[in-house]
Structure 1
Amino acid sequence: MIDLGCAALPAPEPWLTRAMRGALDELPPYAHTHGDYPAGLPALRQALADRYTARGIPTMPEQIMVTTGAMGAVAAACRLMVRPGERVAVESPSYANILQLMREAGARLVPVAMADRLAGWDIPSWRQVLSAAAPRLAYVIADFHNPTGALATEDQRRQLVDAARSAGTVLIADETMAELRLDDEVELPRPVCAFDPAGSTVITVGSASKTFWAGLRIGWVRAAPDVIRSLVAARAYADLGTPVIEQLAVAWLLNTGGWEEAIEIRRELARGNRDALVGALRRHLPDWEFTVPHGGLTLWARTGGLSGSRIAEAGARLGVRVPSGPRFGVDGAFEGYVRLPFTVGGAVAEKAATRLASAADLVATGATIEAEAPRTYVA
Structure 2
Amino acid sequence: MEATSARALAALVGDLATERPPRYAALAGRVRRLVADGRVPLGTRLPAERELAAALAVSRATVTAAYTRLREDGWATARQGAGTFAALPAGPHRGAWVPGPVDDGTVDLAHAAPAAPATVPAALAAALEELPRLLSSHGYHPAGLPDLRARVAERYTARGLPTTPEQVLVTNGALHGVSVAFAALLGRGRRVLVEQPSYPNALQAARALGARVVPVALDADEPAAWVDTAGRTLSAVRPAAAYLMPDFQNPTGVLLDVPGRERLAAALRRSGVPAVVDETFAELGLDAAAPPPLAAFGAGHVSVGTLSKVAWGGLRVGWVRAEADVVRRLTTVAVATSMSGPVVEQLAACVLLDGLDAALPGLRAQLRERRAVLAGELRARLPSWRVPEPAGGLVLWCGLPTPRSRAVVAAAERLGLRLAAGPLFGTGHALDDRLRLPYTQPPEVLRRGIALLARADAAATGARPPAGEPRELAVV
Q: Same fold (TM over 0.5)?
A: yes
Instruction: Give yes or no for the alignment of 1:350 onto 2:439.
Output: no
Alignment of 1:173-192 (within 5 A): 173-183=277-287, 186-192=288-294
Instruction: Give yes or no for the alignment of 1:313 onto 2:396.
Output: no
Instruction: Give yes or no for the alignment of 1:266 onto 2:363.
Output: yes
| Pairing partner for 1:68 from 172, 175, 188 | 172
Instruction: Give yes or no for the alignment of 1:206 onto 2:293.
Output: no
Structure of larger gyration radius: 2
Does structure 2 retain, via aligned residues, the 8 Å contact 1:312–1:323?
Answer: yes
Does structure 2 retain, via aligned residues, the 8 Å contact 1:118–1:150?
Answer: no
Alignment of 1:127-166 (within 5 A): 127-166=231-270
| Pairing partner for 1:281 from 375, 378, 384 | 378
Alignment of 1:15-26 (within 5 A): 15-26=119-130
Aligned-residue offset at 1:120: 6.0
Moved more, 157-166 or 64-73: 157-166
d(CA) in 1 for partners of 2:340, 2:169: 10
Aligned-residue offset at 1:118: 6.5
| Pairing partner for 1:293 from 383, 387, 390 | 390
d(CA) in 2 for partners of 1:243, 1:93: 33
Aligned-residue offset at 1:187: 4.4
d(CA) in 2 for partners of 1:87, 1:288: 35
d(CA) in 2 for partners of 1:85, 1:132: 17
Percent sequence identity over matched residues?
42
Q: Which runs of 4+ in 1 moved over 6 A?
A: none
Q: Which residue of 2 aligns with 1:240?
A: 339
Instruction: Give yes or no for the alignment of 1:97 onto 2:197.
Output: no
Aligned-residue offset at 1:265: 2.9
| Pairing partner for 2:421 from 304, 314, 324 | 324
Does structure 1 retain, via aligned residues, the 8 Å contact 2:378–2:387?
Answer: no
| Pairing partner for 1:195 from 297, 300, 324 | 297
d(CA) in 2 for partners of 1:41, 1:187: 29
d(CA) in 1 for partners of 2:444, 2:275: 42
Does structure 2 retain, via aligned residues, the 8 Å contact 1:274–1:345?
Answer: no
Does structure 2 retain, via aligned residues, the 8 Å contact 1:276–1:345?
Answer: no
d(CA) in 2 for partners of 1:350, 1:41: 42
Give structure 2 stretches of 5+ with no counterpart.
Answer: 1-105, 465-476
Check 1:337–1:247 CA distance in 2 against 1; reply closer, same or farther (3 A cut).
same
d(CA) in 1 for partners of 2:373, 2:353: 31
d(CA) in 2 for partners of 1:116, 1:8: 23
For residue 314 of structure 2, give the secondary structure of its aligned residue in structure 1.
Answer: coil
Check 1:187–1:219 CA distance in 2 against 1; reply closer, same or farther (3 A cut).
closer
Aligned-residue offset at 1:101: 1.3
For residue 160 of structure 1, give the secondary structure of its aligned residue in structure 2.
Answer: helix
Matched to 1:32, the amino acid is S
- Please report the RMSD computed on the Cα atoms of aligned residues, expressed in angstroms: 1.6
For residue 308 of structure 2, give the secondary structure of its aligned residue in structure 1.
Answer: helix
Give structure 1 stretches of 5+ with no counterpart.
Answer: 368-379
Q: Which residue of 1 aligns with 2:472?
A: none
TM-score by length of 1: 0.91
